[in-house]
Structure 1
Amino acid sequence: MPPPGPDTGTRGDGFDGFAQARLTVGDVTLRVRSGGSGPPLLLLHGYPETHLMWGGVAAELAEDFTVVAPDLRGYGDSSKPPTVPGHETYGKRAMADDGVRLMRQLGFDAFDVVGHDRGGRVAYRMALDSPDAVRRVTVMDVVPTGEVWARADARLALGYWHWSFLALPEPVPERLIAPDPEFFFFDAEFGGAVRGFAPEAVADYARSVRDPAVVHAICEDYRAGATCDRDDDDADRAAGRRITCPLQVLWAGRGALATWYDTLAVWREWADDVTGEALDSGHFLAEERPAETLAAIRRFHGDGHAQAA
């Protein structure tokens, strides 16, 4: 791993002492924070956030791991590649490849990964596509994208309406979001919960979603979810491909997954070694319950490395 450069983040954002860089991997340049020492751990954020969502746990994780936290392509200060008709440039396969390339560039051919929300979808796709690279994976508050669409019903249409709205053809959602993106991303969907998180993180999220290129990229992310991501999942199921590394599933005990799915049972159809639990939280586990999230990550990923040693 290259020596850390100066930390140019905001004091108090949870990443003091971390290096910040812009690293080119393949066809994108990613904003990346890295710090700590020990086994490598890749942290992947969710929607509509950036890597700053990990600020409540990053410093503590860096006591045990070499922590790498990028902005996903299209989000935050990472680059926004051109869109293509099939939306593959914002598909989880492309994002997963970004993560593998990033970790190799930093000197890690194999690593653990933790992903929340959209980052969780990238994490499990990475485990499917690059089984030699991913040693252990934690997904937070997701079931596979193909399962979401296959089981879609009125609950999804009303409770997770943004899945369909953001996947509408360009420029429909972009034009409707443009007058007040903060209202859309923070209030219309999450009832203002995001506004109560760490001020430095919220400021970063708000600055990002005010950029029309980020809004378009987010829409492309969801268009990919409804098309190429779903197709990739369906193809894996049909071919019998499974996640072979240990998988931990964490989900919000006060969220949709706890109500709609037998979450562990769903994931056991996709992976050979599945453990997990619900946390007493809403959707944003790492920000609403940082201590519990930290403990679960340390226990699962730390135990795995201890056993390997």
Structure 2
Amino acid sequence: MSTPFVKASSVQSADGTRLAVFESGNPEGPVLVAVHGYPDNHTVWDGIAAELGDRYRVIAYDVRGAGDSDKPAARSSYKIARLVEDFTAVIDAVSPDTPVHLLAHDWGSIQSWGPVTDPALAPRIASYTSISGPCLDYVGVWMRDRKHPGASLRQALKSWYIAAFQIPALPERIVSLGVVDRGIARTELKGHPAGALANPVQRSEADKVNGIKLYRANMPSTLARPRPVRTSVPVQVLAPVDDAFVSVRLATETPAPFVDDLTISEIAGSHWVVSESPERVAAYVDAFAVKNAPAAPAATRKRKARR
């Protein structure tokens, strides 16, 4: 399947990092911004864009370190605060006046909790669908809750790779040996044992290596000293029941104390359900976006009233 995206522009983040922005779908439709995770690039959203393109203007961008975007060398350049600046630069370019619907997966979802919980940015987000990427601050609180020691231990075992990614040079060596590729392949094909995915993601060596900085820059400090912030943004959490990395309990329980408007759905699929079953994910995203459609800007309402 050829990608439905075309490169629309590049935008510059606050620290000068250039981000490649791609567009698909209905140019007059509501704006849906999709943020990919590790070790993907924007093409992980090809199937979703194909499903929703007749109704939405679908925007995807390569996060810093991946795809066609700049690849800063410093670990500090991958802190969530920098990633929030990236998201801000993108929506300033594609939808400066109207709130966007936000869809994110894996590390794209982890970083997207940043703008969702930022009082300055939250009004610019009409809805947020999070898949397999909980808020690290919420996780830090949940892991400390003594009411579910067994669930916390099981999640810690699922997340063994996070500790491994902190070791200098080891993760890069693992990538070079193809271990990451083989692990992803086993996970992706869990729901398709008889054949390949319809929308395979083409991941470069840079996608796999640079994204390790996300774990090193954010995981230890945030999990050790969580600072959870409430949000009034409508949030939909989709929790794949066969996710090898994020348990259903972690995905669904961590946001509950902090999200005012929370919708939770357990869905069939693996961690990469966004490329495994895009039609299933798209149906949930569409229904939630319709339910939380933003009001038209005042200028638009006045133009319609004069007609």
The TM-score bracket by the shorter chain reads 0.7 to 0.9
Cα distance, 1:283 vs structure 2: 0.7
Q: Distance in 1 between matches of 2:233 and 2:187?
A: 37
Q: Distance in 2 between matches of 1:22 and 1:142?
A: 26
Q: Identity rate of aligned residues, in percent? A: 23
- Cα distance, 1:260–1:298 mapped onto 2, change above 3 Å: closer
- Cα distance, 1:31–1:259 mapped onto 2, change above 3 Å: closer
* Structure 1 counterpart of 2:192: none
- Cα distance, 1:157–1:304 mapped onto 2, change above 3 Å: closer
- Where does 1:1-309 land on structure 2 (aligned, <5 Å)? 12-15=1-4, 18-26=6-14, 27-35=16-24, 36-37=26-27, 38-83=29-74, 87-109=75-97, 110-129=99-118, 130-149=121-140, 151=143, 154-168=153-167, 170-174=168-172, 176-177=173-174, 179-180=176-177, 183-188=178-183, 191=186, 193=188, 196-198=196-198, 201-202=200-201, 204-205=202-203, 208-209=204-205, 211=206, 214-230=207-223, 234-235=226-227, 237=228, 241-256=229-244, 259=247, 261=249, 263-305=251-293, 308=295
Decide whether the 8 Å contact of 2:158 with 2:245 is kept in 1.
Answer: no
**What is the Cα-based RMSD across aligned positions, in Å?**
2.6
SS in 2 for 1:224: helix
Q: Distance in 2 between matches of 1:221 and 1:258?
A: 17
Deviations, residues 28-58 of structure 1 (Å, cap 9, x unaligned)? 1112211323121110011111110111110
Decide whether the 8 Å contact of 2:136 with 2:223 is kept in 1.
Answer: yes
Q: Which runs of 5+ in 2 are unaligned?
A: 145-151, 190-194, 297-307
Q: Distance in 2 between matches of 1:41 and 1:189?
A: 26
Decide whether the 8 Å contact of 1:15 with 1:59 is kept in 2.
Answer: yes
Decide whether the 8 Å contact of 2:140 with 2:226 is kept in 1.
Answer: no
Q: Which runs of 5+ in 1 are unaligned?
A: 1-11
Decide whether the 8 Å contact of 2:39 with 2:208 is kept in 1.
Answer: no
Decide whether the 8 Å contact of 1:138 with 1:250 is kept in 2.
Answer: yes
Cα distance, 1:147 vs structure 2: 4.1
SS in 2 for 1:34: strand
SS in 1 for 2:226: helix
SS in 2 for 1:191: helix
Q: Distance in 1 between matches of 2:250 and 2:108?
A: 21
- Cα distance, 1:149–1:184 mapped onto 2, change above 3 Å: farther
Q: Distance in 1 between matches of 2:270 and 2:169?
A: 31
SS in 1 for 2:115: helix
SS in 2 for 1:64: coil
Cα distance, 1:141 vs structure 2: 1.6
Deviations, residues 156-182 of structure 1 (Å, cap 9, x unaligned)? 4432222111122x33322x23532xx
SS in 2 for 1:196: coil
- Cα distance, 1:215–1:302 mapped onto 2, change above 3 Å: same
- Structure number with greater Rg is 2
Decide whether the 8 Å contact of 2:130 with 2:237 is kept in 1.
Answer: yes
Q: Which amino acid aligns with 2:55?
A: D
Q: Distance in 1 between matches of 2:271 and 2:208?
A: 21
Q: Which amino acid aligns with 2:230?
A: R
SS in 1 for 2:96: coil
Q: TM-score, normalised by structure 1?
A: 0.80
Q: Distance in 2 between matches of 1:247 and 1:69?
A: 19
Q: Distance in 1 between matches of 2:37 and 2:135?
A: 14
Q: Distance in 2 between matches of 1:223 and 1:267?
A: 23
